[in-house]
Structure 1
Amino acid sequence: MEGSSKSNTACYSKTEKEKDLFHVIHKVPCGDGPYVKAKHAQLVHKDPETAIVWFWKAINAGDKVDSALKDMAVVMKQVDRTEEAIEAIRSFRSRCSKQAQESLDNVLIDLYKKCGKVEEQIDLLKRKLRLIYQGEAFNGKPTKTARSHGKKFQVSVKQETSRLLGNLGWAYKQKSNFLAAEVVYQKAQMIDPDANKACNLGLCLIKQARYDEARLVLQSVLEGKLPGSEDFKSRKRAEELLMEVETRQPLPELTEILGFDLDDDDFVKGLEKMMNEWAPSRSKRLPIFEQISSFRDRIAC
């Protein structure tokens, strides 16, 4: 009996270890509540529609509402149910904790961006920047923990401010308000410069026909003076924008090309001078006039 008991304990431990490994690999929580079932559907079975159903059940049951609402909105965005995701956050964010509101705002910004709600995006970005100015961002802390591609990292208030300004500049670009976008990108670069925002700033300057300024900004990327300059996409974009600068450079004035003004009294003389310079040295007249002169000379003889 004693040996059997040890065997059962060993099997149980092995099963538990396998379960723990499963949760680590698939990054799903433990348990059997609606939120856990939603995450299984989302991450393990790759079934977003079923996941959304279980996220709704989790929200209604009060099961991890903060995470359920945010995760559901993200999944809805992936399956092009963006408008529905926006309405869900607006309707149910009051059920979420104060700590979750900032994350929900970030999700909303992405949703507004995807479905073209530029005005709403601008308003929300301004509100978030105002909170930073008032010292209320990150729940009063100097940094926050963010996640990207499964990795956690710390974000400072300075970095977050620059990121939000970059998003605001992008929104103004969509409205073709390139002056406002330029001002915002300039401020973002002063706080936390990078190559991507420099390219966007360069584009805003090009749109305003300020080519010399745009050239300087874009060359700073190609010369490796900014963080992210080594990124292939940023360098390629900077090169393409610089080529656009060259093609849009104003052409020399026609007066500069011709050497005289079309309104001058000496226009005809200037044109004759130019034609003489272009004509072959052996003759300043077209062949037909040479033939006529020769014919007249013969008649005179």
Structure 2
Amino acid sequence: MVEAITIANVEILVEKDPDAAIALFWKAINEGDRVDSALKDMAVVMKQQDRTEEAIEAIKSCRGRCSEQAQESLDNILIDLYKKCGRLEEQIELFKQKLWTIYHGEAFNGKPTKTARSHGKKFQVTIKQEISRILGNLGWAYMQRGNYMAAEVVYRKAQIIDPDANKACNLCHCLIKQTRTTEARSILSTILQGDMVGSNDPKSKAQAQELLIELESSHVSPLSAQESASSVEEALVQGLDHLMKQWTPFRSKRLPVFEEISPFRDQVAC
């Protein structure tokens, strides 16, 4: 049965017999038949079947057979798989690799924008938006690991490039965890006053209100940016600035957007 089914009607097989669909995908990959789509679709089906670890290993072992155009999609699938099974370290490393790719102008095929799809609709994504999105995800991964100093560094970088209320709320969460209530309160006030991109989004506003309640009910002593600067600088070793140092030999190749990111030490007091 599997041999008689083609990739064109595999969606029917996925619904009726996922295991048979996975066998078909493996057959296509091994025979070199539409490897890009076969590997990506197989990983998605494996995830749906709670075979996450198997999907990760399949991508790692077979992505070398895929085209360059498929690599970004495979990275995005890997990130989702890592999230599902709680592999934070792999998530963080992959986010850093994606930033490295953008930094060297290797993303978007060297163009300033790319076409993306969501719910069947096409839209344009700029390099700035992509960097900010990846930094937001990287910051979230650091938060899940409990490294709030590193997360703060990353969220501040994201806000410099493409500020929005959602990432600002996450930045406030990091500050509250470090008992830096004065800074957190200032940012939350900006969000609740509607003076930030995305401030009117109900979800972001509700999150800001919850954080403010948490802040007001806490009994921690407020710390200023200057008082906590030395602690924040410790995060630079593990945060984005450490990654920047790895890029230093290639600065002549980096995209103009990175020139807009001033050193974090100059912004600790902002």
With the length of structure 1 as denominator, give the TM-score of the two structures: 0.68
Work out whether residues 25 and 39 of structure 2, in 8 Å CA contact, stay in contact via their aligned partners in 1: yes
C-alpha separation between the residues in 2 aligned to 1:79 and 1:143? Answer: 35
Residue among 70, 73, 84 paired with 2:43:
73
C-alpha separation between the residues in 2 aligned to 1:46 and 1:147? Answer: 27
C-alpha separation between the residues in 2 aligned to 1:139 and 1:112? Answer: 26
Percent identity (aligned): 68
- Deviation at residue 144 of structure 1 after TM alignment: 1.5
Aligned to 2:218: 248
- Deviation at residue 171 of structure 1 after TM alignment: 1.2
Any idea what SS the aligned residue of 2:117 has?
Answer: strand
C-alpha separation between the residues in 1 aligned to 2:106 and 2:13? Answer: 36
Q: Does 1:94 align with 2:25?
A: no
Work out whether residues 82 and 88 of structure 2, in 8 Å CA contact, stay in contact via their aligned partners in 1: yes
C-alpha separation between the residues in 1 aligned to 2:26 and 2:111? Answer: 32
Aligned to 1:103: 73
Structure 1 alignment gaps of length 5 or more: 1-31, 253-301
Work out whether residues 37 and 51 of structure 1, in 8 Å CA contact, stay in contact via their aligned partners in 2: no
Residue among 166, 171, 175 paired with 2:141:
171
In structure 2, what residue type is equivalent to 1:36?
A: A
- Deviation at residue 141 of structure 1 after TM alignment: 1.9
- Deviation at residue 151 of structure 1 after TM alignment: 1.6
Work out whether residues 143 and 151 of structure 2, in 8 Å CA contact, stay in contact via their aligned partners in 1: yes
Any idea what SS the aligned residue of 1:101 has?
Answer: helix
User: Matches of residues 141-220 of structure 1 in structure 2 within 5 Å?
Assistant: 141-220=111-190
**Alpha carbon RMSD of aligned pairs, Å?**
2.0
User: Matches of residues 7-26 of structure 1 in structure 2 within 5 Å?
Assistant: none
Aligned to 2:226: none
- Deviations, residues 200-227 of structure 1 (Å, cap 9, x unaligned): 1110001000112111222232222233
- Deviations, residues 161-201 of structure 1 (Å, cap 9, x unaligned): 01111111011112211011001001001111122111111
Structure of greater Rg: 1
Aligned to 2:107: 137
With the length of structure 2 as denominator, give the TM-score of the two structures: 0.75
Any idea what SS the aligned residue of 1:229 has?
Answer: coil
In structure 1, what residue type is equivalent to 2:90?
A: E
From the superposition, tell whether residues 76 and 250 of structure 1 become closer, same or farther in structure 2 (CA, over 3 Å).
Answer: same
Aligned to 1:82: 52
